[in-house]
Amino acid sequence: MSNQFNALRGLIILGCCLLLAVVLGYLLATPENRDTLIVVGLVFGVLALPLVMRWHHPMLVLSWNLSAVVFFLPGQLQVWMILTGVSLGISVFQRALNRGMNFLPAKPIILPLIILGAVVLVTAHFTGGISFRAGGGATFGGKRYLIVLLGILGFFALIARRIPVASAGRYVGCFFLAGVTAAIANLVTVVNPSFYFIFWLFPPDLGQFQAASDLTRENIGRLGGLGAAASFSFYFLLACYGIRGLVGLRNFWKLLLAFVLVALGLLGGFRSTLIAMAMVFALVFYLEGLMRTRYLPMLILGMIAVAAAVLPFIEKMPPAVQRAVSFLPVRVDAVVAADAKDSSEWRLRMWRLLLAEVPHYLWLGKGYAIRGDELELAQNRAATGQGDTAEVAMLAGDYHNGPLSVIIPFGVWGALAFIWFLLAAGWAMYRNYRYGELELKRINTLLLAFFLMRVVMFFAVVGALNYDLLAFTGLVGLSISLNGGICRPRSATETAGDASLQPQALAR
């Protein structure tokens, strides 16, 4: 009887496989059809489900800074968005089956995030709802709501699991080095057209300045993707070795690699890239306690030597590099200086207009809803010279300013919840840096420095809630997952035990 049952089960499975093969074969006759891509993607997703259930948490960490989209779904949803929902769903399901699998404790951060999410949903309800361009209709802007809400949910997905201390370096490497994929965008003007399928998965958005330069021969060719990739690699280098591990004759190649990454970052042409890298380096230098050591005069002498060797040749460097350093008191090409000045004046002009709108959105924010007809009219006016591109950016919600990107869409309530979250997250990351395990010291130092840099950049230089919230929740979620929660001051016995293990930890 059992043999007959097994034979019948085998025939049923074979029949299902043959039917599925016929359906897929029929669909693959039109491989560029979106319905085909969706069905094939779902089939492979189901087949990969066992792997996803086993590795969903490290896959989420890897996807956080990955410049990849799920190209067969409408709306160009990024991979991290899908994995956030999948990972959180699996974690909640496993928690329901096994009461012993608890999320890591992070109560001080959870409450402001829940309030911020509630403010976002209430604002969306009273300002036109959540509509997507892919769904048609006269109003859209729902993808920004989706990014903010998934950024909040992503925090809960990250703290669902404790990362083993022995695997901390690999997870941090996945988190930061995944950002190297941003450089793929800059291949858009050099790759053979037969390889354009690469850009289905890695959109060439960051290559727009490079493409504009190649077409017009007037704009500055900025390799934005390469700049982002170099900066992520620079931060990972600091997480691995710290500043102490970069100096000295034995570590000459590491210091040289750091200089190369900074130089590649300047090719992005963004002033904020150099400011961010310098700020993270300075914060790590301070947090490592090097201010009163021999490293300080070494740093000052090194900066003087680099300035003396580089500054006389600034005008002969690529225009993108000149633009990246144009905020410094150095002489750059007149065209580059004019381009940087125009960019700054454009932002200041838009901010003056937006400040007048703030009182209208204090109690109920504007939300992210965008009227398609108004945006199209503004774009046409800007294209014909009758309007300003700042008007287009304002209607699209691209304010290029952190505080304005919070208070105008979500009012004072969203601003208060967001500030509360930043304070709680900063407090948690400081405690993990101060009281975390010795093996995680360098990583916790870099994460805290990177978090503080993003806060300063958000409020003082450039920021956008729908993207920066993702960075903030990712950093604090990774910190809590690495440290098993929010660390507390250790007792004298625990401190003595760590001190006895310190030589072994340093040797590793």
282: in domain: yes
- Residue for token pair 């006269």: 138
Domain assignment of residue 321, yes or no: no
Three-state SS string over 77-102 comes to CEHHHHHHHHHHHHHHHHHHHCCCCC
DSSP state of 69: B
User: Which contacts of 250-259 are long-range, i.e. CB under 8 A and separated by 24 or more positions?
Assistant: 258/234
Q: How many domains are contained in the chain?
A: 1
- pLDDT score recorded for residue 109: 95
| DSSP codes of every residue in 280-323 | HHHHHHHHTT-TTSTHHHHHHHHHHHHHHHHGGGGGGS-HHHHH
Q: What is the CA radius of gyration of the chain?
A: 25
Report residue 142 as tokens: 């729902």
| pLDDT for the residue 314 | 83
On whether residue 58 sits in a domain, the answer given is no
pLDDT in single tens digits along all 508 residues of the chain: 556 556 666 666 666 666 666 666 655 556 656 666 666 666 666 666 777 778 889 999 999 999 888 877 777 789 999 999 999 999 888 888 777 778 898 999 999 999 999 999 999 888 877 777 655 555 667 888 899 999 999 999 999 999 999 999 999 999 999 999 988 888 877 777 777 778 888 887 765 655 554 444 445 667 888 889 999 999 999 999 988 888 766 778 888 888 899 989 888 888 889 899 999 999 999 999 888 888 888 888 888 888 888 878 888 888 888 888 888 888 888 888 888 888 888 888 888 878 888 888 889 888 887 766 556 655 565 555 555 666 666 666 678 888 988 998 999 999 999 999 999 999 999 999 999 999 999 999 999 999 999 999 999 888 889 889 999 999 999 999 999 999 988 765 555 555 454 444 433 3
**459: domain range?**
79-311+341-498
Whole-angstrom distance, CA of residue 452 vs CA of residue 365: 27
Among the listed residues 119, 45, 114, 115, the one whose alpha carbon sits nearest the alpha carbon of residue 83: 45
The whole-number pLDDT of residue 50 equals 74
The angle at the Cα of 128, spanning 122 to 132, to the nearest 5 degrees, equals 105
b (16+ CB within 10 A) / e for 464-487: bbbebbbbbbbbbbbbbbbbbbbb
**Is residue 142 domain-resident?**
yes
Q: Is 76 left (phi over 0), alpha (psi -120 to 50) or beta?
A: left
pLDDT of residue 117: 94
Please report whether residue 7 resides in a domain.
Answer: no
Q: What is the model's pLDDT at position 308?
A: 82
Residue 221 lies in a domain: yes
In a domain, 151, yes or no: yes
Q: Residue 270 falls within a domain, yes or no?
A: yes
